[in-house]
Amino acid sequence: MQLMEKQNILIVGSGGREHALAWKCLQSPWVQRIYCAPGNPGMGRMVETVDIAVNDIAGLVQFAKDHDIHLTVVGPEAPLLKGIVDAFAEAGLQAYGPSAQAARLEGSKSEAKAFMQRWSIPTAGYRVCYTMAEAETFIAEQGAPIVVKVDGLAGGKGVVVAMTEAEAVAAAKNFLVPGSCIILEDYMQGEEVSLLAFVDGETVIPMEFAQDHKPVFEGDTGPNTGGMGAYSPVPQFGSHVLKEAMERIVKPTAAGMVAEGHPFRGVLYTGLMITDQGPKVVEYNVRFGDPEAQALLPRLKTDLIEILWASITGQLDQMDVQWDKRAAAAVVAASGGYPEAYDKGLPIAGDILTQRDSSMVFHAGTAAKNDGFVTNGGRVLAVTGLGDSLSEALSAAYRRMSDIDFAGMHYRRDIGRRAMKQASRSA
Ligand code: GLY
């Protein structure tokens, strides 16, 4: 992909994913200037941050016009669902990501399930319930385990895998709000993996697999979070699993969206359960995953700006997307108490600015104070390690993490455990 001129880029978002996007975009020779709205203090040390909230779409459009922004990259799902890409297009500007209508694949689980049913895309059996009476009847019929899901966006907190009927009823009561619905799904047995793909209409270029760690504590225990760590590649799932997922799920999804008049352009993130019957969809997301992005982007060898422009100009099929053979492991450091209540404003010790060849730090919930940084969120930062093997990548990440500290800091020490377990079994 040959661009004609250097680009001014606007990145929308403020988390670790957006920090990784900014870091990756900075490596492109096509970049003139990068702005992040609102960004975070870590990003502020690399690029210019502007105080515009992610959902202030009119404000972002105005900023892009005033600052001659060529390309806007949208990190989080909320502005996508609010129609940021449509609003930019109406203003004659380019924003990378799906339209509001295509973003409903993530915005409504019931619509996504109906879409999968229409296109025979493998996923768990389900029932949409609008009342507690419907939910209780279905739970009693199906029994446990059963999965209870919020219909709309829930920031990673809208899913309960209920191991008893009582737990399922309690989750349904908690999730069911007037005017909305919940989804009750068959429990799927298997291992989860994230498959992200660059999609432009029917053209789909998969990234390499990544695996997230949603529960807060080691051994996948405790409540779910936005994600406590990720690694890539995922050696337990080889090219045959990728091929099957592409043929039975990702390509039919892209084709179905085209056929229904809502072509998908952007990063399609399919959460997969690899079951005995093959891969099945757990959920769709319509953007880079967080923390998957912090593990995937350091492995992406191809110029990200070129990939995004190729998508926008209908030339994605001409891109040859290359991945670093090395493994990457991203470990999230969270505030004490997260994902429940936690303190903010705690001083962070250690070098959380230097981006090295084998370890990077991506900020999320940090704030600048005096000459240093304090905590300002649940997921405070992620450390990514790169290495010739997953074990080396993990060592690099944990070594770097051991130099970082704040009161109450906790992180999982078993990121990559499934891959490491498999490696030790086959050794
Ligand atoms: N890693 C989960 C997500 O990005 O939604």
Sign of the Cα pseudo-torsion (281, 286, 287, 289, in order): negative
**Ligand 1 centroid vs 164 CA: distance in angstroms?**
26
Q: Global pTM?
A: 0.97
**Ligand 1 centroid vs 17 CA: distance in angstroms?**
10
- Is the CB–ligand 1 distance for residue 283 below 6 Å? no
Best residue for ligand 1 mutational test, from 195, 285, 412 (most atoms within 8 Å of Cβ): 285
Rounded to whole angstroms, the Cα distance separating 266 from 203 reads 11
Burial label for 262, CB within 10 Å (0-12, 13-18, 19+), is middle
- Is the CB–ligand 1 distance for residue 416 below 6 Å? no
Sign of the Cα pseudo-torsion (61, 66, 71, 74, in order): negative
- Is the CB–ligand 1 distance for residue 227 below 6 Å? yes
Rounded to whole angstroms, the Cα distance separating 370 from 353 reads 15
Nearest CA to ligand 1 atom 5: 289
Sign of the Cα pseudo-torsion (185, 214, 17, 4, in order): negative
Sign of the Cα pseudo-torsion (200, 14, 293, 107, in order): negative
Sign of the Cα pseudo-torsion (66, 72, 75, 76, in order): positive
Question: How many degrees, rounded to 5, is the angle at CA 311 between CA 85 and CA 107?
Answer: 40
- Is the CB–ligand 1 distance for residue 290 below 6 Å? yes
Domains of the chain: 8-101 (3.40.50.20), 125-186 (3.30.1490.20), 191-426 (3.30.470.20)
Q: Is-contact 96 88, C-beta < 8 A?
A: no
Q: How many CB atoms lie within 10 A of CB 110?
A: 19
Best residue for ligand 1 mutational test, from 106, 224, 225, 292 (most atoms within 8 Å of Cβ): 292
Ligand 1 atom with minimal separation from the 156 CA:
5
Nearest CA to ligand 1 atom 4: 289
Query: Residue 128 is encoded by which pair of tokens?
Result: 């949409």
Q: Given its phi and psi angles, is residue 190 left (phi above 0), alpha (psi -120 to 50 degrees) or beta? A: left
Q: How many residues does the chain have?
A: 427
- For the chain, 427 residues long, give each residue's pLDDT as a single digit of tens: 667 889 999 999 999 999 999 999 999 999 999 999 999 999 999 999 999 999 999 999 999 999 999 999 999 999 999 999 999 999 999 999 999 999 999 999 999 999 999 999 999 999 999 999 999 999 999 999 999 999 999 887 899 999 999 999 999 999 999 889 999 999 999 999 999 999 999 999 999 999 999 999 999 999 889 999 999 999 999 999 999 999 999 999 999 999 999 999 999 999 999 999 999 999 999 999 999 999 999 999 999 999 999 999 999 999 999 999 999 999 999 999 999 999 999 999 999 999 999 999 999 999 999 999 999 999 999 999 999 999 999 999 999 999 999 999 999 999 999 999 888 877 7
Alpha helix (H) residue ranges in 27-131: 41-44, 57-66, 77-81, 84-90, 104-107, 109-118
CA distances in angstroms from 287 to 97, 293, 388, listed in the order given = 7, 10, 28
Provide the 8-state DSSP code for 346: P
Q: How many CB atoms lie within 10 A of CB 197?
A: 22
